[in-house]
Structure 1
Amino acid sequence: MSTLPRLQHAQLSSELFKKLADLNMAVVRRGHVDPGLLHLVDIRASQLNGCAFCLDMHSKQAKLHGERELRLYHLPVWRESPLFSPRERAALAWTEALTRLAPGGIPDALYAELREQFSETELSDLTYQVMLINAWNRAGVAFLTPPGSLDKPYGLDKAGLA
């Protein structure tokens, strides 16, 4: 890990930070995709991107919103775990495909699987959520936001995962 101090991006670019947060909240408020599924998407992308801050924050949010800890532990191995529904599996596969874009793009088979599980609006909103968490992850990784640093202001200390 770097010892070089990093920028306080949220303060330096506060207007941009707020707009990204507002867009994020707009996806949640629309309510087309279950918030619990959005938490799984955020956690999985954060795992893939190596964003400790986002992984910490979204795991705590998921726990506060009723997610079972065992499912959080199984998330890195969701393909082998029996704990995820076909809809969740499709969303996690989509998250991985959009987070790690392959040279050939998104396979038709994956897209067809998604269309079986999600309406057009749900799939569009889910895609925006994956885009957003990847943006947040890039800021977290670039500026090494310390995990847990916003627990108190965001009420995440109540998750019992310290």
Structure 2
Amino acid sequence: MTNTARMKINDVSPAAYQAVLGLEKYIRANVDGELLHLVKLRASIMNGCSFCVDMHSREGLADGMSSRKLFAVGAWREAPFFDERERAALDLTEEVTRLGDHGVSDEVWDNAVEHFGQEGVANLLMAIATINVWNRLSVSTRTQPPVE
């Protein structure tokens, strides 16, 4: 497989890109920044999106997040760096990103609602859905992280 980018969505379909960007702006205003970095990074790892993994890990570091915490997102269940609220968000991220035959289990859903309330879960769902859109666009178009 080649790593040559196929297209830039923003150039080919700017209105569609702006629509997704509108969701992005909403979630940035309504989801805690550190939690959002964790959710975006976890979904991007799961989806194999090198562009987004690079971007969200660099953004997290730039925003002052612990490198140990960011590096541990791939093994968050075993890592001691995450509190119960973050674990609930990461669990929800995994189940929404995978969906599979069962969707989101009642246990994961109830735990997320306990930590975030209905509105917080709605905003997390929008964040998870949005990063999954970005991941699918980037992977499909072979968008690569900048080489510095």
In structure 1, runs of 5+ residues without a counterpart are 150-161
Normalising by structure 2, report the TM-score: 0.94
**Which letter maps to 2:144?**
P
* Cα distance in 2 between the residues matched to 1:129 and 1:36: 13
* Cα distance in 2 between the residues matched to 1:131 and 1:88: 17
The superposition leaves residues 15-51 of structure 1 with CA deviations (integer Å, 9 ceiling, x where unpaired) of 111121122111212x3x2111001000000000000
In structure 2, runs of 5+ residues without a counterpart are none
Q: CA RMSD in A?
A: 1.4
* Cα distance in 1 between the residues matched to 2:3 and 2:110: 45
2:41 to 17, 28, 43: 43
* Cα distance in 2 between the residues matched to 1:104 and 1:96: 13
Normalising by structure 1, report the TM-score: 0.86
1:106 to 84, 104, 113: 104
Segments of 4+ in structure 1 off by > 3 A?
none
The superposition leaves residues 63-99 of structure 1 with CA deviations (integer Å, 9 ceiling, x where unpaired) of 1111110111111110001100000000000000000
Cross-structure match for 1:10: 10
C-alpha displacement at 1:148, in angstroms?
Answer: 2.2
Change over 3 Å in CA distance of 1:16–1:86 after alignment to 2: same
* Cα distance in 2 between the residues matched to 1:85 and 1:135: 27
Identity of matched residues, %: 36
* Cα distance in 2 between the residues matched to 1:63 and 1:130: 20
| Counterpart contact for 2:39–2:128, Cα < 8 Å | yes
> Which range is displaced more, 140-149 or 64-73?
140-149
Cross-structure match for 1:158: none
Cross-structure match for 1:157: none
